[in-house]
Amino acid sequence: MAANSATIPLMTPHQMGNFNLSHRVVLAPLTRSRSYGNVPQPHAVLYYSQRATNGGLLIAEATGVSDTAQGYPETPGIWTTEQVEAWKPIVNAVHAKGGIFFCQIWHAGRVSKEGLQPNGQAPISCTDKPLTPKVRANGVHVAQFSTPRRLATDEIPSVVNDFRLAARNAIEAGFDGVEIHGAHGYLIDQFMKDKVNDRIDQYGGSLENRCRFGLEVVEAVVNEIGADRVGFRISPFSDYSEAGDSNPEALALYMAKSLSNYGILYCHAVEPRMVTIGEMKECPHSLLPMRKAFNGTFIVAGGYDRKDGNQAVSNGHTDLVAYGRLFLANPDLPRRFELDAPLNKYNRETFYILDPVVGYTDYPFLETTE
């Protein structure tokens, strides 16, 4: 970056395991619903390469680990050979610009409906409690969810194995590593949170039991591709998709310590102020105890701008800051932060449309005099 970058905390380098990051601005994983038939498309080559910088970390959008993993239309997967091959040119384009690229592997669990499931079957979860319908962000459409099917105890190892195979496939596709999605009310979070998990077997009840599934996924993925290629995203304080917990502080600390025990590369935590998606609230909780308990690189996300991102880094509250909507609308976000330049405004109405260009690759870059 620029010669004066040392004066801007977000623009300083960071050693993340074997990866030499040139700055601390991370592309957060963002569902964009443009992977037709669950296969990544050629237009994603431009989308991700636009946001790649030499030594910058990008995390790909939530990517399904199996044909039961989908929760939204046209989201990518990585369980078939066709999907792996489709990811390769996208990964190559990011690497050509010197970027570091992780694939977020994901299972939606009960945040789904029968129309998105193979043979129209019920979505799987830790529970058979359905989600209540909710009004979408546009205030018009209502999201409907099917009643899930509670996984039998002896079925859970197969789902763990789906994550393991997805991690293997991600490395085959050329990704530098994977981020396990354990946040936002999806399957792993459903197991961890006591307001969803009502099991009475070894995967329910106590905090240790509720975290067992997620940590079994971590162990399987670590054993498959190595701890130095594994990250984990977690939102212990949120209640996305009705996945709240009665003691989020205990959950946060237990998972931070457990993830440290596996020696994984990074922990990616969502700020407590992000109680629901897209809405910030005043919150007395802090990620600092997690930060202190986790030995690897710590990433925070949730409502950050340039000013408080710089402050979080300079105060030692985090190593890296992940940006979603700002990076979506500003493909050159690190450059804009470096120059303290004005930002493009994002258009929420184009976040999840199927168009391969509009709201996807048509946000303007800063004009350059070079």
Measured on CA atoms in the order 230, 1, 302, 278, is the torsion positive or negative?
Answer: negative
C-alpha separations of 57 from 39, 105, 122, 128, 261 in Å: 23, 16, 36, 37, 24
SS3 127: coil
Q: How far apart are CA 187 and CA 203, in angstroms?
A: 13
Whether the Cβ atoms of residue 15 and residue 8 lie closer than 8 Å to each other: no
Whether the Cβ atoms of residue 189 and residue 235 lie closer than 8 Å to each other: yes
C-alpha separations of 39 from 46, 58, 116 in Å: 16, 19, 14
Please enumerate in sequence order all residues whose Cβ is within 8 A of that of 170, keeping only pairs 6 or more positions apart, or say none: 63, 78, 87, 103, 105, 177, 178, 225
C-alpha separations of 173 from 44, 103, 225, 227 in Å: 14, 10, 13, 18
Whether the Cβ atoms of residue 46 and residue 94 lie closer than 8 Å to each other: no
Element housing 124 (H / E): strand 124-125
CA triple 200-201-202, angle to 5 deg: 130
Q: How far apart are CA 199 and CA 239, in angstroms?
A: 19
The catalytic position among 48, 186, 266, 323 is 186
Whether the Cβ atoms of residue 346 and residue 329 lie closer than 8 Å to each other: yes
Residue 97's CB: how many other CB atoms inside 10 A?
16
- Residue 193's nearest CA partner among 129, 135, 257 is 129
First-to-final CA distance of the chain: 14
Q: How far apart are CA 216 and CA 156, in angstroms?
A: 10
Q: Is 352 a catalytic residue?
A: no
- Active site residues per annotation: 186
